[in-house]
Amino acid sequence: MTTGDLGGSSKENVVLDGIPVITVNGSRFQKALQIVRLEIDVILTIDYRCNYRGIFNILPFTPVITWVRDPRTQAVIEKVNSLKIPGKNVEPAGICIPETRNLAAYRKRPFPLKNRVTLANKMSHLKEKNEDVYNIPGSEWVLPNPSVVDYSGVNVKKAEKPTVVFVGRLDPIKRPWLFVELARMFPEADFLMLGKNHFEEEDGWEINNVPENLKLLGHVTGEEKYQILSSAWIFVNTSIHEESPVSAFEALAYETPLVCFEDWGGIVSRHGISIGQRLGTGLDGMPDLVSAVKQLLNDEELRTKYGKRGRAFVEKEHNDEAFLTAFRELCIHTGVKRAKDSILV
């Protein structure tokens, strides 16, 4: 089920990978009845947004698990607000930070509406951000990613020519201009940019003066994406803010080391090089970015060590079995009786 505004035009229900997707558009009353009839045991949210409350209010006695994947603390908000697009004096598109602390008010509702809200962090290091973001004490619960790729089908085949890859939206918050400038510094290497621009107005970013060694591949998914990650020597992330994106884990699954500005809970420094975040355009970090890429391009032994260590980490910590085990324990904790007798498959 998707969460969102209960108003809007009606849409037919769809099925994705065998799972029914029930939109919340159309008649509020009819949709509310439809949702109630589903006999939902637990609500799982991805982080928290205020428009989730529409579903919460329809199911006031149903426990809520908030999957903490990208918590935006006050420090993160200030960092993101410093973002600048080179050559433009406008507020960049796509940097709005949602209100999250009012989740605590829902958690503290009086009897008989009092309900259990459990925070489940994607990784344990996110616990320290829980109170700042949600006004709820830090949670020990961890709900890892399910398998980010089919690990049994991973085939690592590195390109003969030095190859560097970027995966992400070509939006200001990702600072893709840094990858373009990086490509100019290494004309002997192939730079592959996967992603598309979602903001084409003045507050977005447009690429121009593309270096010959930079290939713009647009939105790439599935086997084609995995072949690119397998061939890459280095995965570069230039965002002003990320929290261990799945694309980085996919790269590690294909033994591709990381070069990033940030170091999500020590993940990057264990499996690549973190140069430390820079505010604004990030252009003042170019010397360190160039140095990190040069070091890995020139050191096959180091690349191999980081890559194999990264693959082992992702396969061990982020897999279907670990996810399902943790989710079942969370369901039992929140009072879902059927979870005790169910084997999640």
What is the reported pLDDT for 10? 43
What is the reported pLDDT for 34? 79
3-state secondary structure of 335: coil
CA–CA gap between residue 345 and residue 343 (Å, rounded): 6
Q: Is the pLDDT of residue 9 over 50?
A: no
What is the reported pLDDT for 6? 40
CATH 3.40.50.2000 boundaries in the chain: 151-317
What is the reported pLDDT for 27? 75
CA–CA gap between residue 345 and residue 342 (Å, rounded): 9
In tens, the pLDDT along 312-344 reads 999 999 999 999 999 999 999 998 887 766 544
Q: What are the C-alpha distances in Å from 135 to residues 103, 114, 243?
A: 8, 17, 19
Superfamily for domain range 151-317: Glycogen Phosphorylase B; (3.40.50.2000)
What is the reported pLDDT for 8? 39
Total-model pTM: 0.90
What is the reported pLDDT for 98? 86
Strand segments, DSSP code E, in 70-229 are 117-121, 163-167, 190-194, 214-218
In tens, the pLDDT along 150-189 reads 999 999 999 999 999 999 999 999 999 999 999 999 999 9
Higher pLDDT, 310 or 10: 310
In tens, the pLDDT along 203-259 reads 889 888 999 999 999 999 999 999 999 999 999 999 999 999 999 999 999 999 999
Q: From 85, 279, 77, 288, select the one nearest 170 (Cα to Cα).
A: 85
Tell me what the pLDDT averaged over the chain comes to: 91
In tens, the pLDDT along 57-114 reads 889 889 999 999 999 999 999 999 999 999 999 999 988 888 999 999 888 887 777 6
CA–CA gap between residue 311 and residue 267 (Å, rounded): 12
What is the reported pLDDT for 338? 79
What is the reported pLDDT for 342? 57
Question: Which ranges of the chain would DSSP assign to H, the alpha helix?
Answer: 28-37, 53-58, 74-81, 103-107, 130-134, 177-185, 222-231, 246-253, 267-270, 286-298, 300-317, 320-334, 337-340
Query: Over pLDDT 70: what percentage of the chain?
Result: 93
